[in-house]
Amino acid sequence: MPEMRYYEALIEAMAEEMRRDESVFLMGEDIGLFGGTFRATEGLMAEFGSRRVRDTPIAEAGIVGLAVGAAMAGLRPVPELMTMNFAIVAMDQIINHAAKMRYMFGGQLNLPITIRAPGGGGTQKGAQHSHSIESWFVNSPGIRVVIPSTPADAKGLLKTSIRSEDVVLFVEHEMLYSSKGQVPDEEVLIPFGRADIKRPGTDLTIVAWSKMVHEALHAAEALAAEGIDAEVLDPRTLDPFDWDGVFESVARTRRCVVAEEGWRSVSVGAEIAARIQETLFHELDAPVARVAAVEVPTPYARKLEQKALPNADDIVRAALKIAV
C-alpha cells in the first residue's frame, strides 16, 4: 500500500472519477491554473483541460447555483468552495436550493453534486477563516455530510460522493492536507454511514471526526499511560450517521467522550450525546462527556486560538473525569 498525503488522495479520487465518467467536472476559485489553494486540484487542469476544470469568479453562491443547474441537466459537478468559511456566503444555494429541490419537486430529479470545502482552524487565520460548521449542514435535511480524517478515507469517500446521486458536502480540513497515510492500491469505494474504529479499546469510546480523530488518537495514547484503554471511533459521514456503530461501541465500553472542533451548543456532538443517552441510558457507567470549541469567534493570537480550539489534552481531561 503506497503512502500518500491527504491532498494527493483527493487528487487521485477526482482524477479517477473524471477518467471514468465524462459528466464529472470541477469548478471553483483558483482550482485550475493555480492548482487549488491547498493543492487539492494540482495537475487536474493539465490532464483534463479547462472545460472540465473550471476556474470561476469569486462568487460562492453563483458557484453552487451553477452546480445545481448543471446537475439538474444531468452532469455531476464537483464545485470547490475555497474554504468552508465561504459556504456561509453560499448558504441559500446550498440549503434552500441544492438540499431541498429533490424533495420539494416530489423526487422528480436527482442532484448529484459534491461540494468540496476545507474547514477548520488552528493556523491563526482569525475569526472569519477558522470555521468548523459541519453541524449547520447536519441540522438541515437533504444534504449528505462527509468528513474524512485520513488519506484513505478521503479517497474512498470522495469517490463514493462523486458517484452518489445526492447532494454531498465533503468537508476537508486545512490542517490535514499534508498528513500522510496508507492508501490502498486497488479501487476502494467507502460506503456512507459506516463508522470506522481508528483504535480499538475497551474502557471508553471517543467519538471524533476530521482533525479531532488525530487529537483523539493522541489522547488515547496518553490515557493508555494512565491504564485506560480508549477506543477511537470515526463516524466519517455525519449524514448519514452510523448510529448502530456508535451504540455498539459505547454499549461495550460503557463510557463515551464526544470530541468535535466546532462550537458546543446545538452541535453534532450534542446530538450524539443526546441519542446515546436516549438509547443506552442503562448501559452507561457515566454521563457522556463533551469536548468542543469555546463559543467565541476564533481569535488570532496563537495562545488564545489554542485555548479556543479543543485538543488532545481537553479530551484526556474529559475522559479522566468520567473514567473513574
Partner 1 sequence: MLQSREMLRLYRQMLLIRRMEERVAESYGEGKIGGFTHLYIGQEAVAVGAISALNFDDYVIDTYRDHGHFLARGGDPKKFMAELFGKQTGICKGKGGSMHMADVERYFFGGTGIVGGSIPIAAGLGLACNYREDDRIVMSFFGDGATNQGVWHEGLNFAKLWNLPVIFICENNFYGIGTGVQFSSSLTEVHKKASGYGMPGYRVNGMDVLEVRRVCEEVVKLVRGGAGPALIEARCYRYQGHSMTDPGRYRARAEEELWRKRDPIPRLAKDLIDGGFATEESLLELDREIEALAEEAVQYADESPDPAPEALYEDMFAVRYPSDPHA
- How near is the Cβ of 111 to partner 1 at its closest, in Å? 9
Q: Which of 106, 185, 278, 303 binds partner 1 (CB under 8 A)?
A: 106
The packing angle between helices 312-323 and 211-225, to 10°, is: 50
Binding string, residues 161-200; x marks residues near partner 1 by CB under 8 A: ---xxx-------------------------xx-------
CB of 286 to partner 1, least distance (A): 25
Site for partner 1 (CB under 8 A): which residue of 69, 184, 200, 297? Answer: 69
- Known catalytic residue at 214: no
Segment (H or E) for 40: none
Quote the least distance from Cβ 147 to partner 1, whole Å. 15
| Non-local CB neighbours of 223 within 8 Å, separated by 6+ positions | 204, 229, 230, 316, 319, 320, 323
Does residue 87 touch partner 1 according to CB under 8 A? no
Query: Residue 27's beta-bridge partner residues?
Result: 54, 79
- β-pairing, 230-234 vs 24-28, is unpaired
Count other C-beta atoms under 10 Å from residue 50's C-beta. Answer: 10
Only one residue has cell 488570532, namely: 300
Q: In the set 15, 88, 91, 109, which binds partner 1 (CB under 8 A)?
A: 109
Please return the burial class of 131, using the count of CB atoms within 10 Å of its CB with bins 0-12, 13-18 and 19+: buried
- List 17, 60, 80, 215, catalytic entry: 60
User: What is the bridge-based pairing of β-strands 196-199 and 168-173?
Assistant: unpaired
From 16, 37, 61, 139, residue interacting with partner 1 (rule: CB under 8 A): 61
Q: Quick one: which segment of 99-107, 115-123, 220-228, 310-318 binds partner 1 (CB under 8 A)?
A: 99-107
Residues of this chain that bind partner 1 (CB under 8 A): 25, 51, 54, 56-57, 59, 61-75, 77, 92-93, 96-97, 102-110, 141-142, 144, 164-166, 192-193, 239-244
Which residues participate in catalysis according to the annotation? Answer: 60, 129
